[in-house]
Amino acid sequence: MASSGPQTCGPCQGKGLATFKAGVWRENPISIQILGICSTLAVTGRLENAFVMGGALIFVTTMSNLFISLLRSFTPRGIRMIAEMAVIATFVILFDQFLKAFYWEMSKQLGPYVGLIITNCILMGRAEAFALQNPPLVSMVDGLANGLGYAAVLAIIGFIREMLGTGNVLGHAVLPAEWYVPNQLMILAPGAFIALGFLIALSNAVRSHEPGQGRP
């Protein structure tokens, strides 16, 4: 239930809002923690794919964080990795099957990258760093926030790459063909690396101007 945002979190011991903000901006999974880079680069050639992937991540992080947190007191330490993997894989399979059943074209375009959500470091990272130590609801908020932070970065990169690479965004002409020659490079692999590199640099530059947020 994605609706349990920060405001409905009485049971989160007041940690809801802080957790949410940390996930989306202060400790953004991509630009700060540098997690989940593979899919960030791979699916952002088109904004539409970026949206679907962002949605998938929001769903999987939220649900897996909730369930890993619910199971945390029964999971023996020795097998916790396997247990986490199993929970994560379950939700990824659910999403994959959903995509295959209702959006076959999209499923084909994303190719192996839906399955690769399992090894997306954000999921293991959040499970290890947060869900294992915190109660279910606040873990769910953490998962949701990290998913949103990830989806936001994906959307930005997807927008930039599709706009510069084709001149269109979601099928609408943004940069008119009269004077803009589409730079194919942006939708190819190097464009992805370079766009993300500049985005991280930009976010570092912005952060270094925030009071008390100077990055080393």
Partner 1 sequence: MNETHVLIIVVAVIFTNNILLSNFLGMCSFLACSRQIDTAVGLGSAVTFVMTFTTALNYLIYRHLLLPGGLEHLTFIVFIAVIAGFTQFVEMFVERFTPKLYYALGIFLPLIAVNCAILGAALFMVIRNYTFVQSVGFGFGGGAGWALAIILMAGLRRKMGYSNVPRPFQGVAITMVVTGVMALAFMGFAGMVSIQ
Q: The tokens of 188 are what?
A: 């190819």
Q: Interface with partner 1 includes 81 (CB under 8 A)?
A: yes
Q: Which of 124, 163, 140, 148 is nearest to 46 (CA)?
A: 163
Helix (H, G, I), strand (E, B) or coil at 70: helix
Q: Which stretch binds partner 1 (CB under 8 A): 66-74, 80-88, 139-147, 149-157?
A: 80-88
Q: Would you say 88 and 64 are in contact if contact means Cβ atoms under 8 Å apart?
A: yes
Q: Interface with partner 1 includes 82 (CB under 8 A)?
A: yes
For the bound state, the minimum distance from the C-beta of residue 177 to partner 1, rounded and expressed in Å, comes to: 25
Q: Burial code of 39-54, b = ≥16 C-beta within 10 A, e = fewer? A: bbbbbbbbbbbbbbbb
Residues counted in the chain: 216
Which residue carries 């929970």 as its tokens? 87
Torsion of CA 64, 66, 68, 70, to 10 degrees: -150
For the bound state, the minimum distance from the C-beta of residue 179 to partner 1, rounded and expressed in Å, comes to: 25
In the bound state with partner 1, the residue whose beta carbon lies nearer, of 118 and 156, is 118
Which residue carries 């925030």 as its tokens? 210
Among 96, 131, 132, 147, binds partner 1 (CB under 8 A): 96
For the bound state, the minimum distance from the C-beta of residue 172 to partner 1, rounded and expressed in Å, comes to: 27
Q: Total number of residues binding partner 1 (CB under 8 A)?
A: 44
Q: Taking CB under 8 A as the criterion, which residues in 111-140 touch partner 1?
A: 111-112, 115-116, 118-121, 124
Interacting residue ranges for partner 1, rule: CB under 8 A:
34-39, 41-42, 81-82, 85-86, 89-90, 92-93, 96-97, 111-112, 115-116, 118-121, 124, 185, 188-194, 196-198, 200-202, 204-205, 208
